[in-house]
Amino acid sequence: GENVEQHPSTLSVQEGDSAVIKCTYSDSASNYFPWYKQELGKRPQLIIDIRSNVGEKKDQRIAVTLNKTAKHFSLHITETQPEDSAVYFCAAFTSGTYKYIFGTGTRLKVLA
Amino acid sequence: GAGVSQSPSNKVTEKGKDVELRCDPISGHTALYWYRQSLGQGLEFLIYFQGNSAPDKSGLPSDRFSAERTGGSVSTLTIQRTQQEDSAVYLCASSPELLLTYEQYFGPGTRLTVT
C-alpha cells in the first residue's frame, strides 16, 4: 500500500539552531502535503502545507520544500525556540482517493 | 466558531465490551475522517465519509470496527468486543468541501483504554 516515511524519529537541537525533518511518499498522485504539530496530550495542529504545483512555501520561521521528482518534502524550522518542542507529522494527500497518509512522527526537543 | 468535538474524552472499558465514540464535525464540513493513534505512533487512517457518498472503510482493522455518519453531520465509531490492542487515542477530523481546500481540522480525541 501507499506509505510515507519520516526521518528522523527524534531530533534535539539547541535553541536558536535550525531543525529539518524529511518525508518521502510513495504515491506519485499525491498532490497536497501538510505538516502538523502535536503537543503532548493535544490534537494535531496544521502549521504549514504545500500543494504539488509549488516547490517551496515559507511562513515566518517555518518553511516547506517539495521535490516532486524525488517524492520528497521537508520541514525547516529556523531560530528554534523551546515552544517548538513537540511531535511533528507530515502527511501526503491524494485528491483522487481523498486519503491522507501520515508519517510516523518526529519528536523535536529544543534545548534552552 | 466551534471546532471539532469528540466524546467521551476518556473511556476505560473491559475487554470484550462494546464502545461507541462520537465526533461532532465543524458545521458545514462535508468530509469526516477517523484515525487511530497508538502510543508514540503516527496516525492510522480508519474510515472516511464525504457527504452522502458511501464511506471509504478501507482502513478499518477488523470487522469489529464500524462507523456511521447520520445526516451528514455527527459520526459514531463503534468497536465491538474490544481487545487490549484497541487501546489508543481515536481522533476525528473534518474538512470543508474537498474540491475547495484539503485542510482538515482535528478534534481533541478520545483516549480508549481496554483493561
Query: What's the CA gap between B29 and B72, in Å, rounded?
Result: 9
pLDDT band at A54, cuts 50/70/90? confident
A93 vs B35, B40, B102: nearest CB: B102
Closest chain A C-alpha to B57 CA, distance in angstroms: 11
pLDDT band at A92, cuts 50/70/90? very high
Verify whether the Cβ–Cβ distance A98 to B104 is below 8 Å. Answer: no
Percent of chain A scored above 90 by pLDDT? 87
| pLDDT given for residue B100 in this prediction | 66
How far is CA B76 from each of CA A20, A38, B59, B68, B80, rounded to the nearest angstrom?
A: 38, 24, 16, 5, 13
| pLDDT given for residue B51 in this prediction | 80
DSSP states of B5-50: EEE-SEEEE-TT--EEEEEEPPTT--EEEEEEE-TT--PEEEEEEE
Verify whether the Cβ–Cβ distance B102 to A105 is below 8 Å. Answer: no
CB count, 10 Å around CB of A85? 19
B47, B102, B104: best to mutate for the A interface, most A CBs within 10 A: B102
Give the three-class secondary structure for B56: strand
| pLDDT given for residue A95 in this prediction | 84
Query: What's the CA gap between A72 and A6, in Å, rounded?
Result: 10
The answer to whether B79 and B87 have CB atoms below 8 angstroms apart is: no
Task: Cell numbers for A35, please give them.
Answer: 505538516
| Local structure of residue B59 (DSSP, 8 states) | T
Mean pLDDT of all residues in A86-94: 95
Task: Cell numbers for B99, please give them.
Answer: 474540491
Query: What's the CA gap between A37 and A32, in Å, rounded?
Result: 17
| pLDDT given for residue A33 in this prediction | 96
Q: Does A47 touch chain B (CB under 8 A)?
A: no
Chain A residues within an 8 Å CB radius of B105: 46
Verify whether the Cβ–Cβ distance A104 to B33 is below 8 Å. Answer: no
Per-residue pLDDT of chain B in tens (115 residues, 90 and over written 9): 579 999 999 999 999 999 999 999 999 898 999 999 998 788 999 999 988 788 888 889 999 999 999 887 899 999 999 999 999 999 999 998 766 678 899 999 999 999 9
A57, A87, A98: best to mutate for the B interface, most B CBs within 10 A: A98
| pLDDT tens digits, one per residue of A12-35 | 999 999 999 999 999 999 999 999
